[in-house]
Amino acid sequence: MVVNVNLCYGCMACNIACHDEYVGNDWLPYSASQAPAIHSFYPEFNYVPGQSWMTLDNVERGAYPYAKRSWVHELCHQCSNPPCVAAANNPGTDTYILDNGIVIINPTTTQGQSQIAAACPYGRIYMNSISNTPQKCTFCAHLLAAGKSQPKCVDACPTTAFTFGDLDDKTSAVYSMVNSGEAVPLHPEYGTQPRVYYIGLPTMFIAGQVVHSKAQSDTNGVTNEVIAGATVTLTFNSVVQGSQTTDWLGQFEFDGLGPFYGAGGLYSISVSASGETTATFTGGITTSTYIGTLALSP
Ligand code: SF4
Ligand code: SF4
Ligand code: SF4
């Protein structure tokens, strides 16, 4: 599965579809009913599940007046090297991997085996408060076994943020996304070889605005306070990272700095525009930052 974070606007339809499929339904041998719970804030809703096999992490970057929000989905990554499988009392029976790569926790033999849940570095296994068994996303294995082409959550997404397919099929869209490097795994440093990949994971950005030191009039007599088309160059630890020109608001933005959530370090930004002085910003930046205005003079 590939999740395109850029296409998600947080409607939660995928999350609700998962609850709809699993609460009150046993899909043996792959899963037993997900535990329902009453939301503490909305007790009038008889059923709002307190356990989600897919969650949305609300990632906010930057701050007023320049902030961005992304929704990052987390579900079982169906790892090829899954520590949850090894942690069971009887790997191969209690936990196992299907031929299609889906990792299964046996719902009938794992009661009380909380060590299975503790073994997942992604924190994607829940202990069912009613049955006391570890549970997680099954990639809707019962639907695939019945001939469906994709899981319930994928069906439910109105923006096609998910692409589901066979990573070994060289003709599939997911194969292209992963092997082109467009889609990347979350936390590959865990070493579990996950099979869920992401496009558009939020990383660190540095943004700012280029302005005249005092209002300038152009050849049409229009007063401009910002400088569009200025050249902005970003350097990280003395290595040039890229260059761009400011937009019609005089703004620039370097996004995608480093891995997930970004890489801090000493950044320098130099700005120049035709007929103007140059300006430079240098500072240690560790999180997405709007550096404010850089003023140039004629
Ligand atoms: S994400 Fe966690 S629960 Fe899923 S297969 Fe990997 S280790 Fe197991
Ligand atoms: S693939 Fe199925 S089990 Fe997994 S989150 Fe989606 S709907 Fe739930
Ligand atoms: S259904 Fe699609 S758009 Fe809505 S939260 Fe899920 S992935 Fe995002």
- CATH code of residue 258: 2.60.40.10
Mean pLDDT (the chain) is: 90
- Out of 80, 122, 186, give the residue to mutate to test ligand 1, the one with the largest number of ligand atoms within 8 Å of its CB: 122
Could you tell me if 278 and 150 lie in one domain?
Answer: no
153 lines ligand 1 (CB under 6 A): no
Could you tell me if 191 and 216 lie in one domain?
Answer: no
Pick the residue whose CA is nearest to atom 1 on ligand 2: 139
261: containing domain: 204-296
Atom of ligand 1 nearest to the CA of 82: 7
Q: How many separate domains does the chain show?
A: 2
Could you tell me if 98 and 13 lie in one domain?
Answer: yes
Output the ligand 3 site: residues, CB below 6 A: 8-14, 56, 71, 156-157, 159, 161
Q: How confident is the model at residue 216 (pLDDT cuts 50, 70, 90)?
A: low
138 lines ligand 1 (CB under 6 A): no
Could you tell me if 208 and 281 lie in one domain?
Answer: yes
Per residue in 4-63, pLDDT (tens digit) is: 999 999 999 999 999 999 999 999 999 999 987 555 445 555 444 467 899 888 899 998
* Residue 160 belongs to domain with CATH number: 3.30.70.20
Could you tell me if 21 and 121 lie in one domain?
Answer: yes
Per residue in 257-282, pLDDT (tens digit) is: 866 655 678 899 999 998 888 899 99
Domain end call among 142, 173, 199: 199
Could you tell me if 108 and 217 lie in one domain?
Answer: no
Atom of ligand 1 nearest to the CA of 119: 7
Could you tell me if 176 and 223 lie in one domain?
Answer: no
Give the distance (Å) from ligand 1 centre to CA of residue 82: 5
Place of tokens 């007790």: 43
pLDDT at 36: 73
Could you tell me if 46 and 181 lie in one domain?
Answer: yes
Per-residue tokens: 267: 């950044």
Q: Given a cut of 50, is residue 201 above it in pLDDT?
A: yes
Pick the residue whose CA is nearest to atom 2 on ligand 3: 157
For the entire predicted model, the pTM comes to: 0.85
pLDDT at 161: 97
pLDDT at 102: 98
